[in-house]
Amino acid sequence: MTKVRVKVKVKVKVSELMQYVICPRLVYFRVRAQGRGYESYAHTHTQAQAHTVTAREKSMIESFILKEFAFNLHKITGCEDTAAITAIIGDIVESVPRIYREELEGLGLVLELDLIEAVKRDFIQGMNDEWLKKLMTENELTELERVHGYERERMMYSEKLNLSGSVDKLIIADEEVIPCMIKTGKSPGYGVWRSDRVQLAAYAMLIEDEFGSIVKRGFVEYIREAEFRVTQIRRSDRAEALQILKQVRRIKQGAFPDKGRNAPCENCVYSKYCDTDTRKTLLSKLLGK
């Protein structure tokens, strides 16, 4: 009797495509973390730092604050009342511990209120007039948001691609559906980073499967520098996103990938295991296992 092979559909998240861009092995270790000690190592590494004020923790809290600024641009843009702006900024900063409670708990910081308050205070004191002025100046994106509004963190799933993801902002402007991503890092000299193009292309394909309309463009908000970039979704971006999707599926099915060319190994919590697994894999190949 011939056995029929059932093809298992591997579900992938857009965030895993981004992990692959950073380093393909991030996908491998995170998928296999449970039950193999990887996750416990990562958790221990985080907890060991939990009661020490580190640059990483400060940066994370700052990123949450910046992200909330991006979600509240419609309140800031065009506002010329200094007292109103001050109140809006205060509300944004105060909301962070509640909105990002899960993420802060993951850092071991939920009870570290003094640290959170210190970062919030430093952030407000460090804000400069030029940055605020750029946030208050209307641009194409803020005009779209003012006229059409947006849906925050819209979760989407494509059965055809077995791909899911949550886009930061989704603007529906008449017959056009536009994905918008918030980034808290530095912006490139012009345009958007390659990884951001790939991410936008992945969201575009999710939107197209859900809404049945073609996505031609998307926005990337580099909120730390108040830079708002619009970019066309190219065929090459879609092709790269689909190629990475295939590679991520292979990894989730057990394939052990090479390191990324520019993998940030020095900051990776899995670096302890990376070379060990490499040696095991090479030995298995030599022994035919």
CA-to-CA separations, 183 to 55, 115, 134, 190, 219, in angstroms, rounded: 19, 23, 16, 15, 11
- Same domain for 114 and 155, yes or no, is no
- Same domain for 155 and 231, yes or no, is yes
- pLDDT at res. 49: 42
- Same domain for 100 and 160, yes or no, is no
DSSP 153: E
- pLDDT at res. 249: 95
> Does the residue 145 lie in any domain?
yes
> Does the residue 276 lie in any domain?
no
Question: Given 115, 136, 157, which residue is the final one in a domain?
Answer: 136
- Same domain for 90 and 122, yes or no, is yes
Neighbours of 105 (CB within 10 A): 11
* Mean per-residue pLDDT over the chain, rounded: 84
DSSP secondary structure, 227-278, as one string: EEEEEE--HHHHHHHHHHHHHHHHHHTT--PPPPTT--GGG-TTHHHHHHHH
The answer to whether residues 230 and 3 touch, using CB atoms and an 8 Å cutoff, is: no
Question: Given 100, 116, 136, which residue is the final one in a domain?
Answer: 136
- pLDDT at res. 203: 98
What's the pTM value of the predicted model, to 2 decimals?
A: 0.84
3-class SS at 139?
coil
Work out how many domains the chain is built from and give that number. Answer: 2
- Same domain for 123 and 164, yes or no, is no
The answer to whether residues 46 and 108 touch, using CB atoms and an 8 Å cutoff, is: yes
> Does the residue 255 lie in any domain?
no
- Same domain for 162 and 224, yes or no, is yes
Distance of CA 77 to the CA centre of its chain: 24
- pLDDT at res. 247: 96
- Same domain for 185 and 151, yes or no, is yes
Question: Given 110, 136, 162, which residue is the final one in a domain?
Answer: 136
> Does the residue 74 lie in any domain?
yes
Question: What kind and span of H or E run contains 168?
Answer: strand 163-173
- Same domain for 207 and 170, yes or no, is yes
- Same domain for 114 and 66, yes or no, is yes
The CATH number linked to 224 is: 3.90.320.10
- Same domain for 126 and 202, yes or no, is no
- pLDDT at res. 2: 54
- Same domain for 121 and 145, yes or no, is no
Range of the domain at 69: 49-136
> Does the residue 33 lie in any domain?
no
| Distance separating alpha carbons of residues 23 and 261, to the nearest angstrom | 8
Residues of the chain with pLDDT under 50: 4, 6, 35, 37-52, 111, 279, 282-289
| Distance separating alpha carbons of residues 233 and 243, to the nearest angstrom | 16
